[in-house]
Amino acid sequence: MTPFAQRYGSWAIVTGASDGTGREFARAIAAQGINCILVARRHAPLEALAEEIHARNGVDCRTVTVDLSTPRATDTIGAAAAGLEVGLLVINAGADPHGSRFLDKDAGAWLDLSQRNVTTTLECCHRFARPMRERGRGGLLLVNSGACYGGGSFMAVYSASKAFMLCLAESLWAELRGDGVDVLTLVLGKTDTPAYRALLARNGAPVPDQMASPAEVAEVGLARLRDGPIYNWGQSNDVAGYAPNSPDARRDRILMVDRFSRSTFGG
């Protein structure tokens, strides 16, 4: 058994495992000999991934077809994980599928985003981290976005939900670091996923030149799990990055992000 599997086995849960970074997290975790519970809405790609990683790595897989924006999602995942020792939780699904101004969508769309990124994330961390604390080992990896550091147009609820995730991860890191449970929020920039490409296409925006690869994101994220609470993708530890705190600096940052958002989404 690898040291990684000793610390985070014997089962991992990966949300949003049917494509992009989630699929790569599952592949990388399975390569360490850890069994996987794969979660997303589409059944077929989850089953294909389960077969692939079982054949390649010999690990067991369970698939959970569920919409994380629905109130019973955590119970559905919990039922699939009943009786299993879950040592690693990767909250990966969490992008904004809309790229829209707050008032240009029905409130229901934002409530769904909030339910998935805030409520289901909170519930899953609570449910699966408790047994980790009792066992004295485990890991929580919350995939985040530079949007967590402040708002901007076209990202009101997305950035708010990611800010929640940032503070949750920082707090859990502080609370659990003496209990053998590692907590990391992995703050990503532009990453070449099907969801991001679909968002760009829907908005008629060009595909950026430089994007992180999902496989690299998964590899680096898992390697950084013991160095929480935050890793800002592609940045050294001593760079404050997206996170200045004075009101002037935050205003400048919002306007900088705003220029990026407007060039991507128009208006």
Task: Using alpha carbons, list the distances in angstroms from residue 47 to 2, 17, 40, 158.
Answer: 26, 10, 11, 29
**List 8, 149, 162, 190, catalytic entry:** 162
Site string for ligand NAP, 75-104 (x = CB under 6 A): -----------------xxxx---------
Site string for ligand NAP, 35-74 (x = CB under 6 A): -----xxx------------------------xxx-----
Total count of residues recorded for the chain: 267
- Catalytic residue at 242? no
Which class for 42: exposed (0-12), middle (13-18), buried (19 or more C-beta within 10 A)?
exposed
Number of residues that bind ligand NAP (CB under 6 A): 26
Using CB under 6 A, pick the residue from 99, 190, 221, 230 that binds ligand NAP.
Answer: 190
Rg of the chain taking only CA atoms, in angstroms: 18
- Interface of this chain with ligand NAP, residues 127 to 186, rule: CB under 6 A: 143, 145
* Nearest distance from C-beta of residue 131 to ligand NAP, angstroms: 23
Q: Rounded to whole angstroms, how far apart are CA atoms 53 and 119?
A: 30
Residues identified as active-site:
158, 162
The residues that touch ligand NAP, with contacts defined as CB under 6 A, are 16-22, 40-42, 67-69, 92-95, 116, 143, 145, 188, 190-191, 193, 195-196
